Every structure is written in C-alpha cells, then in structure tokens.
Amino acid sequence: MADYDAIERELRTLTPIEDRGKELDKWAKFLANVVDAWDEATQEPKNKLARCLFQEIWLKDKQVVAVKPQPELEPFFKLNYDEFVNKILKMRPRRDLNP
C-alpha cells in the first residue's frame, strides 16, 4: 500500500502531455524573441541569459561547440534537434550513390 501511495503522489506531480504542448509553445515564443534580444544586448545580459537557458556550455577556441539546456527547456531543444537531423538526412544523397 505504501508503494501505491508513493506512485499516486508521483503521478499527481507529472505534467499531462496536453499541458507540455502549451508549455513548449510558450518557450518557443520566448526563444524566438531571444535572438533579437541577443543581437541588441551587451555581454553582461548575454551571460545572464545564457545562464537562464543552459546548465552547461562547452567552448573550443572561443566557439560554442555544445550546450546542455536547463531541464525545463530540454524538450524544446530535443524537438529542434530532431527537426534539424531530419532536414540534414533528407538533404544527404543515398550512401550507395556516394562512393
């Protein structure tokens, strides 16, 4: 019975799928405006914004090579990455045509 109660409590904290779509739409609108804000910002606001968006940022030769988004933004970045991969794979010629 204790396990059942624990599972019930955990289920109540989970976000329903419908709500996740609304949440992702909200973040998508926010992130669409981030580009404009980034272009106009000085370095200090850019650093604050980067901390809000990402847990970790990897640099190589002063270039960003990878990021780890904040947990609440991870689904958005996953969707964006999946879309990017699909576009790239559709653009690549078939392997048997490319020796």
pLDDT at residue 61, rounded to an integer: 92
Q: Residue 68 — φ and ψ, nearest 5°? A: -120, 110
pLDDT score of 14: 73
For each successive 10 residues of the chain (99 residues), what is the average pLDDT?
A: 86 68 73 77 85 88 87 77 70 56
pTM of this structure = 0.48
Question: Which pLDDT score, from 0 to 100, does residue 20 have?
Answer: 65
To the nearest 10 degrees (0 to 180), the angle between helices 17-40 and 43-53 is 160
The domain limits of the chain are 2-97
What is the pLDDT, as a whole number, of residue 96?
59
